[in-house]
Structure 1
């Protein structure tokens, strides 16, 4: 992309405010992109994108997994189809994303190099011309099938999560994650005592992960119930958990979470 061409108009959709803010900051470094709108609510995004006063969008940065309406369902509701760059924290939907002929697929946490690669790929498509796949009358049916497939897939939930180390992406099996913890505005997945940074809040993880497996025990902690070894009651109704990891990690349970924990464990 060169400075002689007008910026590409971009719209961003992600239900995670932190992820949306991060993407906006990253895109600010690329003068070839002009952000003309953003939304954390997919319903609001559809109304805005289909609005008569909305500027034409060249590229849509779109999260795949969102509550209420996933990314494929959002696309199915648009009156015109922009180019799409999908973003998601879980890699299991990559092939489905490419089936829709998306420009690229960015795994969260998105890094500048990753974003630059996608934008270069998009730049090679100038001038922006609606490709045949966007005019294909079968596209709505394809998007409905992808939506149904994604919703069906929610029953199994993701089985691994991404953690970025420099330019490398490590995939952590969720079975190995003993707990998630939040510290200093960062979230970490802990595997055998070692912390791995993930680009999601505890609340995001609580909503997206299998509730039969991961339980919120504190505003800053989510535990894998399969790793609980002991439940220890302290004075004044306080409860602590001891995990099965080699460090015998102890986690404090918030008072308002004790009843839920005991119900889950059948005690």
Structure 2
């Protein structure tokens, strides 16, 4: 799920952006902000994945607001002023939408965010296979080495991420967690479980053993398990 804010002093701009976002899956509006100070107040206690940011606002201009953020999320600038585009790219924004913009152009910008978010979520370094994923748990982003991840269990609106030494609880659907993880290393074996292939100790009948934990194999997921045995 991509959580976003709209920061614009024009209500009609909020209506257009939200209307476009409502046509897309996995987009969740967190707050309408009608000036940058309102957004700053929200971001002190909350995190989001994307900001739709207008530039010409009262109290605090868009780029001045952006410069105050120590760890900004993805930024899509929405403005009627084309002359500010160069400065925006110097501030590492994801895209620059010139008002009025079409849904097709809007979609292209959001797709850029999806691509950058995926590459930022899964961090790979050269050398040994040090691959990690950032998970939001207990009001902070935690970097987890995928080699430490044993399995993930659905728990209502949450998911339990079981690691070698501890467990994290995150507010994500199991399907969203699966999208974060590399498909060559993790498989879904039950409607409530994702497992790391490398940590499977034994597969026996309709169950998998990982670190003395018994994980059931669902009927719909047996093919996934059989692929591991090939």
Q: State the secondary structure of the residue aligned to 1:226.
A: helix
Which residue of the partner structure matches residue 208 of structure 1? Answer: 180
Give the gaps of 5 or more residues in structure 1.
1-14, 24-35, 46-54, 65-70, 84-99, 108-129, 234-238
Q: Over the residues paired in the alignment, what is the CA RMSD in angstroms?
A: 4.6
Say whether 1:242 aligns with 2:215.
Answer: no
Change (3 A) 1:169 1:185: same
Check conservation: 1:57, 1:82, Cα contact below 8 A.
no
In structure 1, distance between residues paired with 2:33 and 2:222: 51
Query: Which structure 2 segments of 5+ residues have no match?
Result: 6-13, 25-31, 58-65, 74-78, 97-108, 124-131
Deviations 1:200-236 (A, max 9, x none): 2211101222122221112211111111121112xxx
Which of structures 1 and 2 has the larger relative contact order (alpha carbons within 8 angstroms, sep 6+)?
A: 1
User: For 1:10-54, what per-residue CA distance to the aligned partner results, in whole angstroms no more than 9, with x for missing partners?
Assistant: xxxxx36xx78xx9xxxxxxxxxxxx7795974748xxxxxxxxx
Q: Which residue of 2 is the match for residue 260 of structure 1?
A: 224
Distance 1:140 1:214, change over 3 A: same
In 2, the alpha carbon distance for the partners of 1:81 and 1:228 equals: 52
In structure 2, the CA distance between the partners of 1:257 and 1:44, relative to structure 1 (3 Å rule), is: same
Equivalent-residue separation in structure 1 for 2:199 and 2:19 (angstroms):
34
* Count, aligned residues: 167
TM-score (normalizing by structure 2): 0.53
- Does 1:161 find its partner at 2:134? yes
Among 189, 198, 213, the residue aligned to 1:226: 198
Normalising by the residue count of structure 1, what TM-score does the alignment of the two structures yield?
A: 0.47
